[in-house]
Chain A
Amino acid sequence: MTTDGRTGPAPVPTGPLSKIDYSERIPNNVNLADDRRLQRALEGWQPKFLDWWKTLGPALPTKDVYLRTAIAVGRDGWAHFDHVPMEDYRWGIFLAERDPDRVVSFGKHRGEPAWQEVPGEHRADLMRLIVIQGDTEPASVEQQRVLGNTAPSIYDLRNLFQVNVEEGRHLWAMVYLLHAYFGREGREEAEQLLKRNSGDLDSPRILGAFNEATTDWLQFFMFTYFTDRDGKYQLGTLKESAFDPLARTCEFMLKEEAHHMFVGTTGVQRIVERTAEVMKEKGGAATFEDGVIPLDVIQKYLNFQFSVSMDLFGGEQSTNAGNYYSSGLKGRWQETRRKDDHVLLEDTRTMRYVEDGEIREKEVPMLSALNLDLRDEYVADCANGVRRWNQALEEAGLDERLILPHEGFNRRVGTYSQHHVSPEGQVLTDEEWASVRDGYLPSDQDRADVATLMVPEYEYGKFAGWIAPPLTGINDQPVEFDYVHLAEEGLV
């Protein structure tokens, strides 16, 4: 039991004592052992989560996996590595340390003490934000469920599983908030998080991109690069929230999210490296016959994943986003480092839109354009990865380059959704779009061709021919380390 000088010791537990040792069963820094309500809620939810993990989690049977697990929030505690059976992974509840002096840094409550409880006025909105965030976490596990069957290496398999268990933990983090702060309705929403399933026609996940199948490893890496990065930016805005438990939860989640970014960045990079290597050898374009993924197919996958991830930011102009900001629920990326009044009532910014077949700019109120503000931050970040991948091409002495498509390309949400825009930013007619679409986005044939390369490589230290090995292993282990022990049936 932790105590601190400000709040005094936690209340002595009363009522029937739980049979579960929570510090053992669910590692946490939220005084779970002292909170009867939370215990009861999680007792009801945990078996359902495990059922879900067994049914919709990774399909490939494994004995154990070399995983990082957070055993404490501090600098050292959250990166502890060991071989563990995945179903025994200790999904814990961790919040970043509480700053007792934290104040709301933006909106109409700016300067007031951060909220330790949900204000009734904002219950519905806060719960909605948490549910949407929470819904994405298990969704990606479901989307990636069968990828283990075609892993290009044991090293990559381990990274996939690490991402999966951490998405599971992020689900726990959101469920913790729902259980701890939103009472009966929160529990109902927490159950729904397990009942909706990616791609389920009757009960799909809330956001479109999380109902798209992850067909192959190229898409997986693109997903972790582009779509998980959207998650990073959403968490970054929630980290600023006036609702302190949400802010602290998201701050901690961001630390874990960094690993997912790493998997995506290096995954795509290693594919590009391998393709560049073959191109250099051949002195021309690499094809599927060469056993690698052609650069133009990589570009199409990039185009696709970037554009569907852009949709996750919502419309450029959003009343909700403005309300969330003004109410203190959701800030901007790195809110506290921004040099403005943090209220934004008078501010404006430019926004691009399509008119008369061309892209134009107009001034819009800043408060109405906060989704766009966040998306711009995201796009700038995405460009870094593309630069890094291009470096691999440059180092191979090649002139070809990958590009980040225009923000208006292939959009289903927002101001561009009624128009066709090429990756270079040209507004296209319907006919023009139809004729060039397959050159920009993966066709069924492209996906089928990529799939033919997806043959599992489970020998320690070996890598499929379409991807370069990494320079180093995980946690200072060698690349050929036995990161995953497959179950007997997994090897068959």
Chain B
Amino acid sequence: MSDAVPVVDFDTTPEHYRHWTLAAEGDVATLTLAVDEDGGLVPGYELKANSYDLGVDIELYDAIQRVRFEHPEVKTVVLTGGLEKMFCAGANIRMLAQSSHAWKVNFCKFTNETRNGLEDASENSGIRSVAAVNGTAAGGGYEIALACDEIVLIDDGSSTVSLPEVPLLGVLPGTGGLTRVVDKRHVRKDRADLFATKAEGFRGQTAVDWGLVDSTVPRNRFAEHVAGRARVLAEGSSRPGGPGVALTPLVRSEADDAISYSHVTATIDRAARRVDIEVRGPESDPPADADGVRALGVDWWPMTVTRELDDLVLRLRTNETGIGTWVIRTSGDTDRVLAHDAQLADLDDWYVAEVRHYWKRTLKRLDVTSRSLIAVIEPGSCFAGMLAELALACDRQYMLDGVYEDVDPDAEPATIVLTAANDGAFPMGNGLSRLESRFWGRDDELAAVRKAVGDRLDARRADELGLVTWALDDLDLGDELRIALEERASLSPDALTGMEANHRFVGPETVESKIFGRLTAWQNWIFYRPNASGPDGALRRYGSGQRGSYDYQRV
């Protein structure tokens, strides 16, 4: 295992990509993967055969974001391989073998979020995707294709699609592979079983017949066929065209124990294993209309705060694994938050819609973050509409009833304001709004809360409505919070992660919830087992000429 884990930076631009190329021509953009073997994020492995690591995926995430925001003319994205005979070999095995458990888990979480983002772009932004599988797509390579709307496999007599993880590595195809084969592509479970245990996978017509790919065409017609499919998919798209919104570099300042942006600040208390996150509301009223919003671009407050929080979540998750409790506060003018919230909900504009979905995805990142999330709602806070979602995403909500007599006796007591944002605009991975999730199976309480939408809910009403865990006055809140945070920090982080993940996702299952629940949980268990990661485990032995030596006891 490598201890020399770098601080990971998620900033990149197409000009800086080492592995992907983004080429937008008219309404089709082509993303070509040609991994730089020496471009691994961590020393110790070569990214051979178009295999990827976190650095490769950070570029993919960036590219999809840019298509969404900077290229509103793009209606279809074609993902293809830039190497001979190899579309993508999936996650780099030596990278996995040398990585710590935490690194593997976080890597899988990010790649899953990126795959889900690709599907989200199709479903909600009209950005269709075609996987032009012009060589073998193995494991994570095939899982990228699975996240696309359509898969075209080259029919060259040798290229295959495969999920070789089980037979070769003793782990699962953990980036949605197992789930999407049966749940999205509706491959029969017996065939899925055959497929996932056959290391070399399937080619050509069998892959089509079983539903693993949509079509297979010979090399001489491949490009033409892909282009045709891209055009067909583009026809149904709602993408508007016109100028995009440039994703200019984020302005961020970093110190040992702090990360700050224009509207988000994180202050780390290492001894307490806690970070205090403050999200600040807008300083001014929103622009008059959609033109004004687009003119502001990334400086439109909802976009600014989303980008900053997204970046912070990624950084804390990846670089600060020891900081187990995130305490989230807001500050600012509630009216201005509400004015922006209304724009975000109501303006009929592609960019506004993109920001809305981006905030949704950022909230979803919080939902699947393996940290304890605690909201503190105090005077001066602005948990309204889209920002109230932050409180609802937390595991607990502590609200001050009244004011801090000793600090500012004349302060305005805190309120929470719910809007449409809390009841459908930002669904969770389970398909429910955060209010529906919170009051799952409590229809009367949900109805009561819905009646309170738009009201300024002080601590007492928020408590009565069930929106906060505790409404405490200034004599109690400080101690209660201190003790609760200390208590939290003393509990097993593993048990907390499992507990929180179970509590956060009530109700129905979706492909997404299955990926982050069932698939990921099993994968993380398997990763930890000696059969995978022990000295003689399949993952460690891969490429050594020896197969994994298993303990054959079923568990």
Listed in ascending order, the chain A residues whose CB lies under 8 Å from chain B are 11, 14-15, 36-37, 40, 117-121, 123-124, 181-184
Listed in ascending order, the chain B residues whose CB lies under 8 Å from chain A are 405-406, 409, 470, 472, 475-476, 479-480, 482-490
The verdict on A183 contacting B479 (CB below 8 Å), with A14-B405, A14-B406, A15-B405 known, is yes
A120 touches B485 (CB 8 A): yes
Chain B residues positioned under 8 Å from A120 (CB to CB): 482-490
Give Cα distance in the complex from A477 to B106, angstroms. 78
What's the nearest-Cβ distance from chain B to residue A187, in Å? 9
Could you say which of B405, B409, B480, B486 contacts A121, with CB atoms under 8 Å apart?
A: B486
Give Cα distance in the complex from A98 to B520, angstroms. 53
B475 touches A40 (CB 8 A): yes
Give Cα distance in the complex from A430 to B398, angstroms. 57
Q: How many A-B residue pairs have CB under 8 A?
A: 44
Give Cα distance in the complex from A379 to B504, angstroms. 53
Nearest 9 A/B pairs, CB to CB: A120-B486, A121-B490, A120-B487, A37-B475, A120-B483, A15-B405, A183-B480, A183-B479, A183-B476
The verdict on A119 contacting B406 (CB below 8 Å), with A36-B475, A37-B476 known, is no
B483 touches A184 (CB 8 A): no
Give Cα distance in the complex from A184 to B473, angstroms. 10
Residue in B closest to A11 when the chains form the complex, CB atoms: B406
The verdict on A119 contacting B476 (CB below 8 Å), with A14-B405, A15-B405 known, is no
Residue in B closest to A38 when the chains form the complex, CB atoms: B475
B405 touches A118 (CB 8 A): no
Residue in B closest to A15 when the chains form the complex, CB atoms: B405
Give Cα distance in the complex from A40 to B487, angstroms. 26
Which of A11, A117, A120 has most B Cβ within 10 Å? A120
Could you say which of A14, A119, A184 contacts B480, with CB atoms under 8 Å apart?
A: A184
Give Cα distance in the complex from A120 to B374, angstroms. 15
Give Cα distance in the complex from A117 to B486, angstroms. 12
What's the nearest-Cβ distance from chain B to residue A179, in Å? 11
Residue in A closest to B490 when the chains form the complex, CB atoms: A121
Could you list some 7 contacts between A and B, CB below 8 A?
A14-B406, A36-B475, A40-B475, A120-B483, A123-B486, A182-B483, A183-B479
B487 touches A123 (CB 8 A): yes
Which of B472, B476, B485, B489 has most A Cβ within 10 Å? B476
Chain A residues positioned under 8 Å from B406 (CB to CB): 11, 14-15
B476 touches A123 (CB 8 A): no
Chain B interface main SS type:
helix
Give Cα distance in the complex from A184 to B475, angstroms. 10
Give Cα distance in the complex from A71 to B238, angstroms. 82
Could you say which of A14, A15, A119, A182 contacts B486, with CB atoms under 8 Å apart?
A: A119
The verdict on A123 contacting B483 (CB below 8 Å), with A36-B475, A184-B470 known, is yes
Give Cα distance in the complex from A366 to B110, angstroms. 49
What's the nearest-Cβ distance from chain B to residue A342, in Å? 22
The verdict on A183 contacting B483 (CB below 8 Å), with A37-B476, A120-B488, A121-B490 known, is yes
Give Cα distance in the complex from A120 to B487, angstroms. 4
Instruction: Other than A15-B409, A120-B487, A184-B472, give 13 A-B pairs with Cβ distance below 8 A.
Output: A14-B409, A37-B476, A120-B484, A120-B485, A120-B488, A121-B490, A123-B483, A123-B487, A183-B476, A183-B480, A183-B483, A184-B476, A184-B480
Give Cα distance in the complex from A11 to B483, angstroms. 22
Residue in A closest to B477 when the chains form the complex, CB atoms: A183
Chain A residues positioned under 8 Å from B475 (CB to CB): 36-37, 40
Give Cα distance in the complex from A472 to B147, angstroms. 93
What's the nearest-Cβ distance from chain B to residue A458, in Å? 48
What's the nearest-Cβ distance from chain A to residue B478, in Å? 9
Chain B residues positioned under 8 Å from A124 (CB to CB): 487
Chain B residues positioned under 8 Å from A182 (CB to CB): 483
What's the nearest-Cβ distance from chain B to residue A9, in Å? 15
Residue in B closest to A12 when the chains form the complex, CB atoms: B406
What's the nearest-Cβ distance from chain A to residue B403, in Å? 10
Chain A residues positioned under 8 Å from B488 (CB to CB): 120
Which of B470, B488, B490 has most A Cβ within 10 Å? B490
Chain A residues positioned under 8 Å from B476 (CB to CB): 37, 183-184
Give Cα distance in the complex from A37 to B488, angstroms. 24
Residue in B closest to A184 when the chains form the complex, CB atoms: B476
Chain A residues positioned under 8 Å from B484 (CB to CB): 120
Give Cα distance in the complex from A124 to B484, angstroms. 10
Give Cα distance in the complex from A118 to B486, angstroms. 10
Chain A residues positioned under 8 Å from B485 (CB to CB): 120
Chain B residues positioned under 8 Å from A11 (CB to CB): 406
Give Cα distance in the complex from A365 to B470, angstroms. 43
Residue in B closest to A39 when the chains form the complex, CB atoms: B475
What's the nearest-Cβ distance from chain B to residue A182, in Å? 8
What's the nearest-Cβ distance from chain B to residue A183, in Å? 5
Residue in A closest to B407 when the chains form the complex, CB atoms: A14
Which of B484, B485, B487 has most A Cβ within 10 Å? B487
Chain A residues positioned under 8 Å from B487 (CB to CB): 120-121, 123-124
What's the nearest-Cβ distance from chain A to residue B471, in Å? 10
Give Cα distance in the complex from A123 to B406, angstroms. 26
Chain A residues positioned under 8 Å from B483 (CB to CB): 118, 120, 123, 182-183
Give Cα distance in the complex from A15 to B409, angstroms. 8
Chain B residues positioned under 8 Å from A117 (CB to CB): 482
Give Cα distance in the complex from A215 to B489, angstroms. 50
What's the nearest-Cβ distance from chain A to residue B21, in Å? 52
Residue in A closest to B485 when the chains form the complex, CB atoms: A120
Give Cα distance in the complex from A184 to B470, angstroms. 10
Give Cα distance in the complex from A181 to B406, angstroms. 19
What's the nearest-Cβ distance from chain A to residue B326, in Å? 16
Chain B residues positioned under 8 Å from A14 (CB to CB): 405-406, 409
Residue in B closest to A181 when the chains form the complex, CB atoms: B479
What's the nearest-Cβ distance from chain B to residue A142, in Å? 30
Residue in B closest to A35 when the chains form the complex, CB atoms: B475
Give Cα distance in the complex from A361 to B68, angstroms. 76
What's the nearest-Cβ distance from chain B to residue A31, in Å? 15
Give Cα distance in the complex from A373 to B306, angstroms. 60
Give Cα distance in the complex from A40 to B479, angstroms. 15
Give Cα distance in the complex from A218 to B496, angstroms. 54
Give Cα distance in the complex from A123 to B479, angstroms. 11
Which of A15, A40, A124, A184 has most B Cβ within 10 Å? A184
What's the nearest-Cβ distance from chain A to residue B340, in Å? 35
What's the nearest-Cβ distance from chain A to residue B488, in Å? 7
What's the nearest-Cβ distance from chain B to residue A324, in Å? 15
What's the nearest-Cβ distance from chain B to residue A279, in Å? 60
Give Cα distance in the complex from A450 to B299, angstroms. 89
What's the nearest-Cβ distance from chain A to residue B224, in Å? 66
Give Cα distance in the complex from A117 to B483, angstroms. 9
Chain A residues positioned under 8 Å from B482 (CB to CB): 117, 120
Chain A residues positioned under 8 Å from B490 (CB to CB): 119-121
What's the nearest-Cβ distance from chain B to residue A191, in Å? 15
Residue in A closest to B484 when the chains form the complex, CB atoms: A120
What's the nearest-Cβ distance from chain A to residue B87, in Å? 51
A121 touches B489 (CB 8 A): yes
Residue in A closest to B475 when the chains form the complex, CB atoms: A37
Give Cα distance in the complex from A11 to B484, angstroms. 25
What's the nearest-Cβ distance from chain A to residue B201, in Å? 51
Residue in B closest to A180 when the chains form the complex, CB atoms: B479
